[in-house]
Amino acid sequence: MDFPKTTIRAFQEKLFRGEQSVVAAVAAYLQRIAAAKNLNAFLTILDDRANARAHAIDAKIKRGAAGKLAGVIIAVKDILAMKGERLTCGSRILENFVSPYDATIIQKLEAADAIIIGKTNMDEFAMGSSTENSAFGPAKNPINPDYVPGGSSGGSAVAVAANLAMAALGSDTGGSIRQPAALCGVVGMKPTYGRVSRFGLVAFASSLDQVGPLAHSVEDVARILEVICGHDERDSTSAPVAVEEFSRFLDGEVKGKVVGLPKEYLAGGVQKEIHAAVTAAKARLQEAGAVIKEVSLPHTRYAIATYYIICTAEASANLARYDGARYGHRSRDAQSLEEMYVKSRSEGFGAEVKRRIMLGTYVLSSGYYDAYYRRAQKVRTLIRRDFEQAFKECDVLLTPTTPTTAFKLGEKTADPLEMYLADIFTVSINLAGVPAISIPFGVDAKGLPIGLQIIGKAFDEKNVLQTAHFLETAHP
Amino acid sequence: MKYEPVIGLEVHAQLLTESKIFCRCGTAFGAPQNSQVCPICLGMPGVLPVLNRQAVAFAIRMGLATNCRIAAHSIFARKNYFYPDLPKGYQISQYEEPLCENGWVEIEMEGGALKRIGLTRIHLEEDAGKSVHAEEYVAGNETLIDVNRCGTPLIEIVSEPDIRSPREAYLYLNRLRQLVRYLGICDGNMEEGSLRCDANISIRPIGEEKFGVKTELKNMNSFRNVEKAIEFEINRQTQLLEAGGRVVQQTMLWDANDGKVLPMRSKEEAHDYRYFPEPDLVPLRIDEKWREEIQASLPELPWARRHRFIEHYGLPKYDAEVLTEEQAVAEFFDATARLVKDAKLTSNWVMGEVLRVLKEQKIDITQFAIKPAAFAELLNLMAAGTISAKIAKEIFEAMLTGGKSAKTIVAEKGLVQVSDTGVIEKAVDAIIAAHPQEVARYRNGEEKVFGFLVGQLMKATQGKANPKVANEVLRSKLAN
């Protein structure tokens, strides 16, 4: 049994008319997942849990008591805690770890009657831009399996692009939702920092991490956002800001919206076809009555350096708990406490994770803190101000999501810096804490998807989604 | 050359909040191992801390009581180090922008002079768990971890290097203990570890301004040990310098069994804790209103209360000192004395009878059988001359077990003191008649026989005769 790509709305209409059952949809998606094993999108398949819930939700639909995401088949990145399920974070060190609790957003999704079909592949602890840093092998781009799907939420992007799920959740610390969404040709959004609870999201860099949806359409992203956003008393950094019904504002209207084009994002180094896509999008917006404005984000050039100081510093502390003492991998041949730490962590972590722990330890060290960490925090403030300044005159900003379309597996693994530059257009957004979406906007000469990024003010997901929704329907 | 010690103390006090500082687990002491834990205090992947407001309020109480400036804006930090009883691999503490700064407390020196000890800061942090090496649980050379204590709120009180002797260190620590108990924020039990003390110690030639090289002294788990260990370390450093050696900056451990300090780690081995602001918690804002509410809720502090007891009740300084040592005792005295005219009588009875019973029964005054109003009734009967002190003690004992009021016991047992001169005169006449030999000896100048005759008189009146009246009547009759 196959299942065509569908939007949440179309699928639910069929469900509510009785033309479709959740049980059948789950069966179809499980079949598709089994058939697409070569893409390595999933680390754990939750077939029993999905089947059991499917029956219950079908019954609820019959009673007219179904939730907002009734029957929607969702894949979640294996960095989100689900009670009683494996939680690997793409790492050997947690290969056999089973979470004793649920993340807040997992509770929210299940309370809205969504079906979580499985947990997706990712770069180890969300560190990477290609999913090649997964301890369980890379995921492959479904457009062309010789190419990477992007990362770190690569498995989630593949799951959506290959229609192995209707939507997926990823996490985005420096572009980890938007970049794979762009490379796989799906929509992916990082909400404002503080919009979505991080309770149960395994931390990479706490001040940058944010959970968000990937889906086939902007409207589907909006529908999932409506469910997962909102203040959580278990996350002190989650914001007590009211959540709008984002999907109701998607009217295709951009007339009068001021769209800024940050010149630093188009200043060369961008693949020709991507540059052309931005130009085309700008023309569509103008035709529809939007006002285009060139703006400057002058501290953009410091973003990568700033990002890698802050995220590695936080990661060095966040990953200290994987020490072999309480849970996770413990080396078998350790003779002392010191050896238990060194061997367990040496065996359990991959090269990129080790690199970042060492970098982060270094920038926080006595005598170096001021030169690196404290200075990076100051630059972060300047980057945030760049955005505040730009948003004084713009409703949203439009940029490419990535400088290039998907690259080949193995192409950048030898040079970490080269890999880091894949996120050059996305990291600033996390440093500033603002929301941004990536939407597919045509393909390049090789048929690989191009992604455009729309950035908004803090907590103004509405304008971002409206603009994205317009461009989604307007692309060439 | 003569040296003087320079000492600063770092005191950790476990706060008496019901739940832990960053999760909802309980904090009761002595619960079964690893029974008060959850994914948060176990440091499971993906969990986040949420700050317990009560812990903040307790820390502010201490800050206000020690004249600290309370920060309007304060932040938490991660202190990074690996240890098996620290599940996250870092401790959430405060580094830059602590909650309280620049305070002081006063200690009373021998001879009554007051000395001010400065407080650099008071900050909030979480406690770590415990490593268990005890053989009864542990096979071979393994170590077990008890995570119960993990996340219990602590305040760390850091003094300025203002302390100049082991005795001053003892007095300062005692003052802090008294204060945390008065404030109801910590039980101050050093043996159970709810109050812990580390000392930074250096010595310098008297008259020298510059500090010497310091050592940090840990593991002093009783008040006596604090004084002894510091004494030992000062002597060690002095002998070292006098022999032409140098003090090495290092961390030392006090070994209470051998009564000496041993090196734990040197400066080179010292941890680099890599403090940085805790990104999982938002900055703590203390608005004026909250601070004022806490200020208004503070109890009368021990030295203020002591002063009041001297001024208002006219008590001797010694009495005031003893009565204000424990807040609950002071409260008991205050509540009783308010109802009794004779404050000194009340003081004598609280210090004497009440504290004796507490010690015998090993109880807290809050568990004491007689409440202030009932106790005042007893004291008032005595002050009014209705009963004698001797009878009062009998009644006091009866009240401890019977739960009856003093007046009831007096009425039931007919214990009212006899002050009627006529009645006493009759009794005296009878005693004189019955003891002609003793009367003769007294009249011959044998003064001590008078005591015997008083005893006979009291016996005859079952102790109810007013001793003053009885004395007077007996003297005058014997003089005839």
Amino acid at A215: A
- Distance in Å, alpha carbon of B311 to nearest chain A alpha carbon: 50
Q: Does residue A334 sit within a domain?
A: no
Token digits for B359?
């010690």
The whole-number average pLDDT for the span A123-150 is 98
Mutate to test the interface with B, among A87, A173, A207, A364 (most CBs of B within 10 A): A364
Judge whether residue A376 has pLDDT over 90: yes
CB A252 within 8 A of CB A470: yes
B268 vs A370, B249, B265, B271, CA distance in Å?
A: 21, 9, 8, 9
Least confident range from A36-40, B39-43, B68-72, B220-224: namely B220-224
Mutate to test the interface with A, among B22, B47, B133, B144 (most CBs of A within 10 A): B47
| Residue closest to B3 by CA, chosen among B277, B294, B264, B201 | B201
pLDDT tens digits, one per residue of B274-304: 999 999 999 999 999 999 999 999 999 999 9
Percent above pLDDT 70 for chain A: 99
pLDDT at B468: 80
pLDDT tens digits, one per residue of B305-353: 999 999 999 999 999 999 999 889 999 999 999 999 899 999 999 999 9
Token digits for A31?
């079949």
pLDDT at B401: 87
Q: Does residue A314 sit within a domain?
A: yes
Determine, for residues B274 and A198 on separate chains, whether the beta-carbon distance falls below 8 Å.
no
Token digits for B156?
């760390």
pLDDT at A291: 98
The whole-number average pLDDT for the span A438-459 is 97
pTM, 2 dp: 0.90
Determine, for residues A206 and B45 on separate chains, whether the beta-carbon distance falls below 8 Å.
no
Judge whether residue B139 has pLDDT over 70: no
Determine, for residues B46 and A99 on separate chains, whether the beta-carbon distance falls below 8 Å.
yes
The whole-number average pLDDT for the span A375-396 is 98
| Residue closest to A21 by CA, chosen among A77, A71, A68 | A71
Cα B341 to chain centroid, rounded: 29
* CA–CA gap between residue B244 and residue B420 (Å, rounded): 83
pLDDT tens digits, one per residue of B4-51: 999 999 999 999 999 999 999 999 878 899 999 999 999 999 999 999
Q: Does residue A428 sit within a domain?
A: yes
Task: Select the residue of B43, B275, B280 nearest A321 (Cβ to Cβ).
Answer: B43
* Cα nearest neighbour of B82 on chain A: A320
- Distance in Å, alpha carbon of A238 to nearest chain B alpha carbon: 10
Q: Does residue A177 sit within a domain?
A: yes
Q: Known catalytic residue: A156?
A: no
Range of the domain at A108: 1-322+360-476
The whole-number average pLDDT for the span A448-455 is 98
* CA–CA gap between residue A395 and residue B235 (Å, rounded): 72
pLDDT tens digits, one per residue of B182-239: 999 999 999 889 999 999 999 999 999 999 999 999 989 899 999 999 999 999 999 9
Task: Select the residue of B42, B46, B276 nearest A326 (Cβ to Cβ).
Answer: B42
Q: Known catalytic residue: A77?
A: yes
Determine, for residues A236 and B282 on separate chains, whether the beta-carbon distance falls below 8 Å.
yes
pLDDT tens digits, one per residue of A173-226: 999 999 999 999 999 999 999 999 999 999 999 999 999 999 999 999 999 999
Q: Which residue has the higher pLDDT, A110 or B270?
A: A110
| Residue closest to A75 by CA, chosen among A129, A25, A29 | A29
The whole-number average pLDDT for the span A93-107 is 98
Bridge partners, residue B116, by sequence = B106
**Has domain B421-479 been given CATH number 1.10.10.410?**
yes
Q: How confident is the model at residue A93 (pLDDT cuts 50, 70, 90)?
A: very high
* CA–CA gap between residue A54 and residue A49 (Å, rounded): 9
Place of tokens 């192995």: A164
Q: Which residues of chain B make contact with A326, given a CB cutoff of 8 A?
A: 42-43, 87, 145
Judge whether residue B416 has pLDDT over 80: no
Q: What is the count of residue pairs from A and B with beta carbons less than 8 Å apart?
A: 99
* CA–CA gap between residue A156 and residue A78 (Å, rounded): 9
Q: Does residue A435 sit within a domain?
A: yes
Residues 6+ apart with CB under 8 A from A470: A252, A253, A254, A284, A285, A288
Q: Which residues of chain B make contact with A101, given a CB cutoff of 8 A?
A: 39, 44, 47
Q: Known catalytic residue: A238?
A: no
Determine, for residues B80 and A325 on separate chains, whether the beta-carbon distance falls below 8 Å.
no
pLDDT at A102: 98
* Cα nearest neighbour of A325 on chain B: B84
| Residue closest to B68 by CA, chosen among B157, B5, B137 | B157
pLDDT at A476: 58
* CA–CA gap between residue B201 and residue B140 (Å, rounded): 38
pLDDT at B311: 95
* CA–CA gap between residue A102 and residue A85 (Å, rounded): 9
Which one-letter DSSP state was computed for residue B163? Answer: B
Q: What's the mean per-residue pLDDT of chain A?
A: 96
Determine, for residues A320 and B84 on separate chains, whether the beta-carbon distance falls below 8 Å.
no
Q: What's the mean per-residue pLDDT of chain B?
A: 91
* Residues from A in contact with B at Cβ < 8 Å: 79-81, 87, 89, 94, 97, 99-101, 103, 198-203, 205-207, 233-237, 313-314, 316-317, 319-321, 323, 325-327, 337, 341, 361, 364-366, 369, 373
Determine, for residues A325 and B84 on separate chains, whether the beta-carbon distance falls below 8 Å.
yes
The number of domains in chain A is: 1
Determine, for residues A326 and B43 on separate chains, whether the beta-carbon distance falls below 8 Å.
yes
* CA–CA gap between residue A180 and residue A170 (Å, rounded): 10
Cα dihedral value B247, B248, B253, B259, nearest 10:
-30
Least confident range from B69-73, B413-417, B440-444: namely B413-417
Determine, for residues B280 and A203 on separate chains, whether the beta-carbon distance falls below 8 Å.
yes
- Distance in Å, alpha carbon of B333 to nearest chain A alpha carbon: 45
Q: How confident is the model at residue B462 (pLDDT cuts 50, 70, 90)?
A: confident
pLDDT at A1: 58
The full set of domain ranges for chain B reads: 3-291, 306-389, 421-479
Determine, for residues A364 and B43 on separate chains, whether the beta-carbon distance falls below 8 Å.
no
CB A44 within 8 A of CB A78: yes
Q: Which residues of chain A make contact with B43, given a CB cutoff of 8 A?
A: 321, 326
Catalytic residue (choose from A77, A108, A412, A457): A77
Task: Select the residue of B47, B87, B272 nearest A366 (Cβ to Cβ).
Answer: B272
Q: Which residues of chain B make contact with A93, given a CB cutoff of 8 A?
A: none
Determine, for residues A364 and B276 on separate chains, whether the beta-carbon distance falls below 8 Å.
yes
Judge whether residue A422 has pLDDT over 80: yes
Catalytic residue (choose from A91, A152, A153, A316): A152
Q: Which residue has the higher pLDDT, B468 or A106?
A: A106
| Residue closest to A408 by CA, chosen among A185, A188, A150, A133 | A150
pLDDT at B136: 65
Q: What value of ipTM does the predicted structure carry?
A: 0.96
pLDDT tens digits, one per residue of A304-328: 999 999 999 999 999 999 999 999 9
Token digits for A442?
């045509």
